[in-house]
Amino acid sequence: MIHKRFIIIGTIFLICLSVLLGRLSQIQLFETKSFTDRNINLIEESVKQRSQEMVIDNGRGKFYDRNMVPLTYEAVPSLILFPFLKKMEWDVEKVASIIGVRENEILQALEAAEEPIVFGKPEPIVLTETQMKAINQLKIPGVFAVKKQYDRKIPPAAQLIGLVGQNEKQISLRYPEKNIPKNTNIGISGLQKSFDEFLLQEENTKLIYHVDGHGGPLFGIDVKYTDPSNPFYPVNVQTTIDGEIQKKAEEIAERHKLKKGGLILVDIDTNSIIASVSRPEMNESNPYGNDGAKNYMLTAQIPGSVFKTVIAAAAIDAQLVPQNRTFDCSRTIHGEIDQQFQHGMIDFTKSFAVSCNNTFATLAKELNEIDKNMIETYAKKLGLTEEVGWQGDVYHFDDFKQLADEEKGQIFLSDAERKDSKLVAQTGIGQQNVRITPLQAANMMATIARGGEKKMVRAVSSIRYKNGTTLYQFPEKKLKGDTLAPYTISKLQQLLREVVVDEEGTGRYLKNLPYEVAGKSGTAQTYRYNENGQEYVNKWFVGYFPFDQPKYALAVVYLDALSTDGSVTPIFQDMVTYLSHLNGQ
C-alpha cells in the first residue's frame, strides 16, 4: 500500500517536473521571441529589466521627399547623458563650455534623471557638427553627442503619408505567416499602409547601459552603441513630394482659412504628385478626430461644372457644336428664366468660358440620345471613372497600389438615370450622381496639357535600401484605355484658356499672372444645408500652367463651403505666383 503511494506521488512529481521543464524550455529555448499569443519577446524584455537605453532610431523605414530630405522624421544633433554620471566625477565644465551653458544646468538635469536623457528643456539643445565632434573626442563614459531621430507626429503631406499605430488584429490579418511582435507599429493609412511590408520595423538603434537591480553598473561604465546588422532593411521610400513646395502649399491653405478640401499639384511631365494638402488639418493629439486623417484629395466629390470638360470633349467629337450654333444662356437647364445669369444667346466657346448650365445640359441630353454610354465613355477617356494612382506588379506583390485609399469616380448609378432626360441634364453639369476625386481632376488637366496621353499618377518614385542603393524604381506608366483625338485635345486646350482670358470667364481673375493659366471652375450643389437653411456647395478650380509649355496641373477644392466663404481662385492664384517665382519668372 505504501509502495503504491510512493509510485503515485513519484508519478505526480515527475509529471509536475516535466511540465516545469517543458515550460522552461518554452521560455528559454523555443519561444524566446514570441512568448504566448501576444508574441512577447522575452529576450528584449529581460534586457529591458537590466538595462537603461536611449533609442536613437526606432527601426521603421522612413519617407523622404524627391530630393531625399526626410519627411517623417527629424534627425536632431543632441547631447545624451546617462544617469550614472551623477555618481561619478567627470569633466562637466568642459562639456558645458562646448555647448555654451552653465555647469549647474547640466548637473540639475542629471539630478532628476533615472534614465538616459536628451539635454535641454523643453526642446533639446541642437548641437553643431563642431560641438558634436568636440564632445565625443572627450570620450567621457555616459556622455554622447548623436543625431537622435524624432518621428514627426504630423509630417508634411500628412494625409498622403498616412499614420502608423499598433493593431494586433491587423498584424495577424496582414502577416499571418510572419513572426511579428504584436506591439510593432504598422501603417494604418496612406503611403504608410501601402508600403507597410517594406517598412516593417527592424531592431532599434540605441545606446544601452547594463545595470543591476539597484540601478548600479553591471559591467562597469561601458555604454554600448547597438545598430541592426542588416545593411539593407528597413528600406526607405523616396516620394515625389517636393518638401519646400509642400510647405508653401500648406501655408497658402492656412492663410486662406481652407476648412475642408485641399489642393493637389502634379508634375505634368512625369505625372507625379509634387504637393498634396488635405483639410481639416490632422490633429497631433487626436489624428482621427474631425476627419483629420482623411485624405480628401483621394475621395470622390461632386465636381459641378468641372465635369463640363467631359461633355465638351464628347460634343466636339460628335460634331454637335458648329461655330454658328448658339445656346440660350438666360435660361436654366429646365427652360425657366435664369434668375442669376443672363448671358443671352451665346456660342459654345463662350458657354464654356462663362460655364453656362443650359448649354451643357442640352448637349448631355443630345449625347445620351446618340449613345446611352457616351458620357461615361468620354469620362473614362479622361481618367475620371477609374483609379489613376500608380499600380502594377512589384516583386511578389501582385497589382501593388501606391495609393491604397484612392476612390474611383462615378457617373451614372443605374440605367434608369440614363433614360431620364432631367437626370441626364443634371449629370451634364456635374451634378446628380457624378463624383470625381481632386486627384482625377488634376490628372485630367495633366492629360489635356500633354496632348491626350494618359498616365498613372505617382506618389513614390523609388524604394531604397538602407545603404542608399535602389531596391525598386517606379517607372512612368500609361493608363490603359482609349484616349481623345489630337484635334479634340487642341479644342479643349483652347476652351480651358478662354475660361481665363474671356472678360466674363469664370477664371478671369487668373488672367494677369506670371504664368498663363488654362482651367475650369466648378460650383457644385450638395443638397445639404446648415441650421440657417444655407446650402453647402463644393467650390473647384482645376487647371494647368504655363499654357504654352505646361509644367504643372493643379486642383483646388473647398468642400462643404457656403457662398459667403469666397472662391478658391485666390488659392490657385497664390500657388501659380509662388511657382513662377520659384522658377525665376
- The residues assigned a catalytic role are 305
Check if the beta carbon of residue 403 is closer than 8 Å to that of residue 389.
yes
Which cell numbers in the block locate residue 23? 515550460
The amino acid present at 433, given as its one-letter code, is: N
C-beta of residue 261 within 8 angstroms of C-beta of residue 523: no
Take residue 194 and report the three cell numbers written for it. Answer: 501601402
Please return the burial class of 180, using the count of CB atoms within 10 Å of its CB with bins 0-12, 13-18 and 19+. Answer: middle
Question: Which helix (H) or strand (E) is 210 found in, with range?
Answer: strand 205-210
Query: Does 228 sit behind a cis peptide bond, omega within 30 degrees of 0 on the bond before it?
Result: no
Place of cell 539597484: 214
Q: How many CB atoms lie within 10 A of CB 569?
A: 18
C-alpha cell at 231: 545593411
C-alpha R_g of the chain: 31
Q: How many Å apart are CA 132 and CA 144, to the nearest integer? A: 8
Reference 246, options 260, 261, 262; nearest CA is 262
CA distance 395 to 436: 31
Going by C-alpha positions, the residue among 39, 27, 41, 49 that lies closest to residue 208 is 49
DSSP labels, 356-384? -HHHHHHHHHHHHHH-TTHHHHHHHHTT-
Pick from 352, 326, 302, 385: nearest CA to 519: 352
Q: Is the peptide bond before 83 cis (omega within 30 degrees of 0)?
A: no
Peptide bond into 124 cis (omega under 30): no
